[in-house]
Amino acid sequence: MNRIRYSIKELEDLLEHHKAIASAKEKVLLSYISEMEELYKELHKKIQTIKEKEETINQTKKILAQNDRVFTLGIMAASLAHEVKNPLIVIAGMLDRLEKHLDPSQKELLNIIKKEVERIQGIMNRLTEFYKPQPIKKEKKNINQLILETVKLTKHYLERFRNVNIITNLSDNIPDISYDKGQIQQVLVNLIINAAQSMPKGGSITISTSITTSENGKKSVIIEVEDTGIGIPEENMDKIFQPFFSTKPPEEGTGLGLSISKDIIEKHSGKITVRSQVAKGTCFTIYLPYDE
């Protein structure tokens, strides 16, 4: 009898022992499961990041392919322009010689031809200049000063637009930054002319400066050129920076102003953005990064 009682005790002990082992194993198993869950979550996140990166790579590839095509087209146009320039010089020279042999009424016709030849020469020059790599010659200067000089320079040109006035709103705490004066001035002139051309019934162009710090701590000078003109329709917003895109009659635009400007700003490691509302106006924003 005694033996059986012991044996039951032994069995109870054994059971307790096994229960303790089972509970310990359960705990280990549960911790494995929660660890697996954590790992699964991390894996899921990593897959998500890889998918996003893949998407960015695909988009970049598309942009690169497009840029490549635009660039090849541009090079072709520039070499064509180069070929056309020489015969044009000969034509212009011949027209000058011809002028001496004509009577006044014929000279009037000749002047029209001469003007058109000059216009073609102007377009060809801009084309060849655009695709010729222009080194940037940076100098540390104040951008407000350049804006004031450029406004003065364009005042005479703007007189041909009725009721177009130009206002400057320049911040006092703009540091001197390194930039190519001639090239940034070219950008400003392009933007001012575009703004004036967008206001056939008159309006105002406001040029402002300020500074900003991006999320990664990089500082930039901001130049905004804002007009109260016709605005840009949504469907044209991603075309305006492409070479040769123009909505203007041929005598007013070749569609190179903004693509040249974008190129210049990017050579300064900056960027140019645009926001616009049809019938309200357009604002171009230039960011020029600088080190302190």
Ligand X SMILES: Nc1ncnc2c1ncn2[C@@H]1O[C@H](COP(=O)(O)OP(=O)(O)OP(=O)(O)O)[C@@H](O)[C@H]1O
Part in contact with ligand X (CB under 6 A); list of ranges 49-57, 83-91, 93-101, 248-256: 248-256
CA dihedral (106, 108, 109, 114) in degrees, to 10, reads: 120
Contact 222, 285 (CB under 8 A): yes
CB 132 → ligand X: shortest distance, Å?
Answer: 17
146 in contact with ligand X (CB under 6 A): no
Contacts of 221 (CB under 8 A, 6+ apart): 143, 174, 175, 177, 209, 210, 211, 287, 288, 290
Q: Which residues is 121 bridged to in the sheet?
A: none
230 binds, among ligand X, Mg ion, none (CB under 5 to 8 A by kind): ligand X
Q: Which of 257, 262, 281, 290 binds Mg ion (CB under 5 A)?
A: 257
CA dihedral (190, 196, 199, 204) in degrees, to 10, reads: 120
Segment 149-208, which members bind ligand X (CB under 6 A)?
A: 190, 194-195, 198
CB 232 → ligand X: shortest distance, Å?
Answer: 5
DSSP string, 109-120: HHHHHHHHHHHH
Q: Which of 144, 154, 194, 198 binds Mg ion (CB under 5 A)?
A: 194
CB 190 → ligand X: shortest distance, Å?
Answer: 6
Q: Which of 230, 264, 265, 272 binds ligand X (CB under 6 A)?
A: 230
CA distance 222 to 140: 16
Q: Which helix (H) or strand (E) holds 140?
A: strand 139-141
SS3 letters across 52-83: HHHHHHHHHHHHHHHHHHHHHHHHHHHHHHHH
Q: Which of 232, 265, 272, 286 binds ligand X (CB under 6 A)?
A: 232
210 in contact with ligand X (CB under 6 A): no
254 in contact with ligand X (CB under 6 A): yes
**Count of residues near ligand X by CB under 6 A:** 22
**Count of residues near Mg ion by CB under 5 A:** 2
CB-count burial class (<10 Å; 0-12, 13-18, 19+) for 274: middle
Binding track, positions 147-186, relative to Mg ion; x by CB under 5 A: ----------------------------------------
Contact 184, 146 (CB under 8 A): yes
Residue whose CB is nearest to ligand X in the complex, by number: 257
Applying CB under 6 A, which residues contact ligand X? 190, 194-195, 198, 227, 229-232, 240, 245-248, 253-259, 282
